Amino acid sequence: MKYNIYVVGMGPGAEEMMTSQAVRALEESQVIIGYPVYLDLLTERFAGKEFLSTPMRKEAERCRMCFEEACKGKKVAMICSGDAGVYGMASLMYEMSTEYPDCKLTIIPGITAANSGAACLGAPLGHDYCVISLSDLLTPWETIERRLRAAATGDFCIAIYNPSSYKRADYLRKACDILLEQFEESRICGYVENIGREGTKTVTCSLRELREAQVNMFTTVFIGNSQTELLEGKLVTKRGYQL
Amino acid sequence: MKYNIYVVGMGPGAEEMMTSQAVRALEESQVIIGYPVYLDLLTERFAGKEFLSTPMRKEAERCRMCFEEACKGKKVAMICSGDAGVYGMASLMYEMSTEYPDCKLTIIPGITAANSGAACLGAPLGHDYCVISLSDLLTPWETIERRLRAAATGDFCIAIYNPSSYKRADYLRKACDILLEQFEESRICGYVENIGREGTKTVTCSLRELREAQVNMFTTVFIGNSQTELLEGKLVTKRGYQL
């Protein structure tokens, strides 16, 4: 294969939360391609690189741009917030790569919001957990409901991505109503806005309160399992060690 | 609070897969405490630090050691492989911290094996996923079975931690049998040994083949969801974008 393309998970945003492997991949690249909000976090640090982007919902075009630039002989990195493989571009890049036999992908993992957000709240994912996106742009809402019910049945800790957007203002409320079929209103929850970026905000609350919370697309929501406790303001899911 | 203790996720092992935040926390610390296997990965890079450990199953003693050393006025870091909050020491440290009112915890997230292993195999966690440990040291096997069944019902991608050990040689087979109640034998799976360390080995296989696989405690196993495909040797779970 002639051309390598890096697909890089940049973590939550702050450079100090990127791995040095990710930093090196960006340093090696001539072209950095990504969603504008995340590119903005990199332009100063990686000044001199060529930055290319496409708007939201133009993810396929963004991926194609990577392959087209790579086939010109340029060293290309596609950046994703969080991890490259979690609702990121890695799978779409692999799908498209079958059209570009000269291109090889190198996936560089990053810290996904489930884990970086959990660290802000304490240790809510201390036992088995699920990661579920509430975005129904690409997934039927029925599938999302089915997964929420299954996660509740399995007593998983749950991290919820994309809990809200302008067009989906009531989705978190709908998700809470599904969880309330099986959970008490007092189930311990929390959420984090702007993880690893300016204006990080953490909130702990009950599931009943979460149902009324105003969250945005930069929020990650956490639902405790049946063992999760609030210890001095921190969400803690015990694994079962004897003290 | 007088004393800060870092609880640091070191990622899979290689220093280049640590965040610079994690590296800085270890550099700032005088004492680094952890499980011997992971400490061994750090002794050369952080030469001059005091390294303390306790054996496996002595996790509570290891945590107490952190608080006791911190209360002597030393700067302490507890290190965990992967992420500090995923089957790591963060939740146990928070539980114990209620006994040490002078100590404050700072959790530094790292890349957990679900995400670092996924990057080795392609993009198996490209949609909603579950992380489940098969270790029944601290969790009743019935709970593990219940979670496996729930994960299958929800059509989640699944990352399995601790799939085997000397005393639990047949646990992965038992888990596969539970998944086979709902999945075809051809369900696409894979596993990774020694992620981010010497001797990394990746295998892709069917669920039927996974049932017969010989894996060890340094293996992370991946079960695709109903949409996962094998594309040119890579596990790819599509999110649903139109190419």
Find tokens 């360390």 and name the residue.
Answer: B197
CB contact under 8 A, B87 and A155: no
- Shortest distance, CA A212 to any CA of chain B (angstroms): 24
CB contact under 8 A, A119 and B109: yes
Q: Which residues contact B19 (CB under 8 A, 6 or more apart)?
A: A11, A16, A17, A18, A19, A111, B11, B108, B109, B110
- Shortest distance, CA A35 to any CA of chain B (angstroms): 16
Q: Chain B within 8 Å of A118 (Cβ-Cβ)?
A: yes
In chain A, whose CA is at the least distance from the CA of B156?
A147
- C-alpha distances in angstroms, B24 versus A241, B28, B56, B111? 29, 6, 26, 16
- Which pLDDT belongs to residue A98? 96
- Which pLDDT belongs to residue A1? 72
- Which pLDDT belongs to residue B167? 83
The pLDDT tens digits of the residues spanning B112-163 come to 999 999 999 999 999 999 999 999 999 999 999 999 999 999 999 999 999 9
Residues of B in contact with A91 (CB under 8 A): 122-123, 126, 236-239
CB contact under 8 A, B125 and A231: no
Residues of B in contact with A133 (CB under 8 A): 127-128
Which of B18, B147, B231 minimises the CB distance to A156? B147
Read off the pLDDT of each residue in A176-190 and give the average, rounded to a whole number: 98
Q: What is the largest CA-CA distance in chain A?
A: 60
- Taking the domain A113-237, which CATH number applies? 3.30.950.10
The pLDDT tens digits of the residues spanning B48-87 come to 999 999 988 899 999 999 999 999 999 999 999 999 999 9
Residue B125's identity, in one-letter code, is L
- Rounded CA separation B157/B225 (Å): 5
Residues B207/B182, Cβ–Cβ less than 8 Å: no
- Shortest distance, CA B154 to any CA of chain A (angstroms): 5
- Shortest distance, CA A6 to any CA of chain B (angstroms): 11
Residues of A in contact with B163 (CB under 8 A): none
Residues of A in contact with B98 (CB under 8 A): 231-232
Residues A62/A53, Cβ–Cβ less than 8 Å: yes
- Shortest distance, CA A1 to any CA of chain B (angstroms): 13
CB contact under 8 A, A150 and B146: no
Residues 121-180 of A with CB under 8 A from B: 122-133, 138-139, 143, 146-147, 149-151, 153-156
Q: How confident is the model at residue B222 (pLDDT cuts 50, 70, 90)?
A: very high
- Which pLDDT belongs to residue B197? 86
Same fold, A3-108 and A113-237: no
CA angle at A241 for the pair A238 and A242, rounded to the nearest 5°: 125
- Rounded CA separation A188/A202 (Å): 14
Q: Chain A within 8 Å of B62 (Cβ-Cβ)?
A: no
CB contact under 8 A, B126 and A236: no
- Which pLDDT belongs to residue B119? 98
- Which pLDDT belongs to residue A212? 96
Strand partners of residue A78 = A7, A33
Read off the pLDDT of each residue in A85-105 and give the average, rounded to a whole number: 96
Residues of B in contact with A150 (CB under 8 A): 150-151, 153-154, 156
The pLDDT tens digits of the residues spanning A19-55 come to 999 999 999 999 999 999 999 999 999 999 999 999 8
Rounded percentage of chain A residues whose pLDDT exceeds 90: 89
- Which pLDDT belongs to residue A158? 98
CB contact under 8 A, B129 and A127: no
pLDDT at position B166 over 90: no
Residues B79/B91, Cβ–Cβ less than 8 Å: no
Rounded percentage of chain A residues whose pLDDT exceeds 70: 100
Read off the pLDDT of each residue in A196-213 and give the average, rounded to a whole number: 95
CB contact under 8 A, A231 and B60: no
The pLDDT tens digits of the residues spanning A225-243 come to 999 999 999 999 999 888 7
- Which pLDDT belongs to residue B232? 95
Q: Which residues contact A81 (CB under 8 A, 6 or more apart)?
A: A9, A10, A11, A12, A13, A35, A37, A38, A88, A113
- Which pLDDT belongs to residue A197? 86
CB contact under 8 A, A19 and B21: no
Q: For all residues of chain B together, what is the average pLDDT?
A: 96
Which of A59, A131, A150 minimises the CB distance to B129? A131
Residues of A in contact with B17 (CB under 8 A): 19-21, 109
- Rounded CA separation B177/B172 (Å): 9
CB contact under 8 A, B128 and A125: no
Rounded percentage of chain B residues whose pLDDT exceeds 70: 100
In chain A, whose CA is at the least distance from the CA of B117?
A109
Find tokens 């209360």 and name the residue.
Answer: B71
Would you tell me which CATH number, out of the four given (3.40.50.920, 3.40.1010.10, 3.40.50.2300, 4.10.320.10), belongs to the domain A3-108?
Answer: 3.40.1010.10
Which of B130, B133, B236 minimises the CB distance to A95? B236
* Residue ranges covered by each domain of chain A: 3-108, 113-237
DSSP assignment letter at A19: B
- Which pLDDT belongs to residue B217? 87
